[in-house]
Amino acid sequence: MDTAAVERFRELLRIPTVSHVDPSQTDAAAFASFREALPRLYPALHEALEWETVGEHALLYRWRGAEAREPLVLMAHYDVVPVVAGEWAHPPFAATITGEGADATIHARGAIDDKGALAAILEAVETLVGDGWSPTRDVYLAFGHDEEVAGTGAPAIVDVLRTRGVRPVLVLDEGGAVVSGAVPGVDVETAMIGVAERGVMTLGLTAREAGGHASTPPALPATARLARAIDRLQRRPAPVRLVPPVRAMFRTLAPYARQPFRAVFSHIALTGGMLARALPRFGSETNALVRTTAVTTELSGADGENVLATTARASVNIRLLTGDTVAAATRRARRAIADPRIEVDVRHGSDPSPVSPWRGEPWRRIATAVGSALGSEIVATPYLQLGASDSRWFTAISDNVYRFAPFRLTAAEREALHAHDERIRVDVWLRGIDFYRDLLRLS
Ligand SMILES: [Zn+2]
């Protein structure tokens, strides 16, 4: 075990760089001390690379290549989501290690999302610089500071690169991982490499009432009208569809699937419709693969228990399937609600990302590094990333944007993301460093 690398990683995990939706709650000092720690922990990298702060806290490094070829961009973000410390088995910012050998595990907020990738990238570059290796093409490291609140760091970095005329041949950000059992009927380990991600938007629903007294309520008060609208949305989910990245995933995995899945995946031109209708039954992840999903997240009504609400509001968070749009989803929601007295407004929205190719040189480089560093038995497959990442901004300057973190994660480990007991096995994290080293050397 590379103890020094693990200790550097733990030091970064102990800095509570928590992003809050309300920026006044964000502790800028934590972000400053994170940035200050980096040159001390990775001195060779900071000697060999140029680096700058973009916006307030985002970091952009440039490792000059020998040739003027299109550059490679490795992305990560160093903010983390908030914690409810009482829910954790180990303190979330102590980076406690439990177990030994292959079971040794680091427990911390950010262990996977996304300081795991960030520290592995830094470690890979630090050791390559130490080996005297340098890249043929430029390599950029782009580290956002507010991914978790869909902030300004990554778009600011993209602006800087665009202004300088940078067109990356390959961009790699967080996303899928090495998993088993995520796709029904497939038992081999798969590297889920996101070639696209769903769009994200929020609709505000508002019902209003002239006012009155809770002792003499109207027949359909604002709160009940709003509840009816939410119920109608819930009863009319978006139609299912097998979009190209999802089709490609099933085609790629067909040879590794057991029957009858193999037959279904191999003949997807014939079976696609049936498969799309069946997938929601396998669970919420496979449901989200085949349709735009919508969920009511925030609700508000009156300020007191004996007061009639004059305004009742809801937020509906919608994730758009490839091919869907903010405008189309808004129209569908209005039709489903079918009530002109419910005001529907788009609070914010971004359409689904373009789809990156799963053939060609950039894709092959990632797949090759998966095989050489993580295990030749792992099947690299394109997939549709269900959540949003900072990488969506980079689709403006690159046609080859991929979403993959080189870590073997169990279903339980994946569930701990954004929840309590986030953790990563030490061996798994160390292998991730090898992946980034191999990817850099292949570039
Ligand atoms: Zn993340």
- Report CA(77)–ligand 1 centroid distance (Å): 7
Same domain, 373 and 338: no
Domain limit, last residue, from 350, 375, 395: 350
Query: What is the CA(390)–ligand 1 centre distance, in A?
Result: 8
For residue 301, how far is its CA from the centre of ligand 1 (angstroms)? Answer: 33
Read off the pTM: 0.93
Residues 208 and 314 in one domain: yes
Cα 16 to middle of ligand 1, angstroms: 15
Same domain, 15 and 100: yes
Sequence-distant (6+) residues with CB within 8 A of 106 are 6, 9, 10, 13, 95, 96, 97, 423, 424, 425, 426, 429
Over the stretch 227-252, which tens digit does the pLDDT of each residue have? 999 999 999 999 999 999 999 999 99
**Virtual torsion, Cα 40, 44, 48, 52, nearest 10 deg:** -20
Do 171 and 92 fall into the same domain? yes
Phi, psi angles (nearest 5°) of residue 382 = -65, 150
- Same domain flag for 276 and 243: yes
Q: How many domains does the chain have?
A: 2
Residues with CB under 5 A from ligand 1 (ion): 113-114, 174
Residue at a domain's end among 350, 374, 389: 350
The answer to whether residues 72 and 153 belong to one domain is yes
Distance 417 CA to ligand 1 centre (A): 9
Per-residue pLDDT of the chain (443 residues; tens, 9 = 90+): 689 999 999 999 999 999 998 889 999 999 999 999 999 999 999 999 999 999 889 999 999 999 999 999 999 999 999 999 999 999 999 999 999 999 999 999 999 999 999 999 999 999 999 999 999 999 999 999 999 998 899 999 999 999 999 999 999 999 999 999 888 899 999 999 999 999 999 999 999 988 778 899 999 999 999 999 999 999 999 999 999 999 999 999 999 999 999 999 999 999 999 999 999 998 898 999 999 999 999 999 999 999 999 999 999 999 999 999 999 999 999 999 999 999 999 999 999 999 999 999 999 999 999 999 999 999 999 999 998 999 999 999 999 999 999 999 999 999 998 899 999 999 999 999 999 999 999 98
User: From ligand 1's centre to the CA of 72, what distance in Å?
Assistant: 20
Q: pLDDT of 282-291, one tens digit each?
A: 889 899 999 9
**Considering the chain, what is the average pLDDT of its residues?**
96
| Residue 336 sits in the same domain as residue 379 | no
Question: Does residue 270 share a domain with residue 413?
Answer: no
Q: Is there a single domain that holds both residue 37 and residue 140?
A: yes
Provide, for the chain, the percentages of residues in helix, strand and coil under a 3-state DSSP scheme, each rounded to the nearest 5. Answer: 40, 25, 35
Q: How far is the CA of 437 from the centre of ligand 1 (A)?
A: 21
If asked whether residues 207 and 289 sit together in one domain, one would say: yes
45 and 115 in a single domain? The answer is yes
CA of 173 relative to ligand 1 center, distance in Å: 9
CATH number at residue 337: 3.30.70.360
- Rounded CA gap, 386 and 396, in Å? 20
Query: Do residues 321 and 290 touch, judged by C-beta distance below 8 A?
Result: yes
Regarding whether 336 and 225 lie in a shared domain, the answer is: yes
How remote is the CA of residue 116 from the centroid of ligand 1, in Å?
Answer: 10
Q: Which helix (H) or strand (E) holds 155?
A: helix 153-163
Residue where a domain terminates, one of 297, 321, 350: 350
**CATH number for the domain that contains residue 176:** 3.40.630.10
Range of the domain at 422: 3-197+354-441
Q: How far is the CA of 172 from the centre of ligand 1 (A)?
A: 13
Cα 114 to ligand 1 centroid, rounded to whole Å: 5
Terminal Cα-to-Cα distance of the chain (whole angstroms): 27
Secondary structure (DSSP) of 218-273:
-SS-HHHHHHHHHHHHHHSPPPP---HHHHHHHHHHGGGBPTTHHHHHHTHHHHHH
Give CA–CA dist 312/206, Å, rounded: 6
**Listed residue (374, 376, 361, 360) closest to 405, CA to CA:** 374
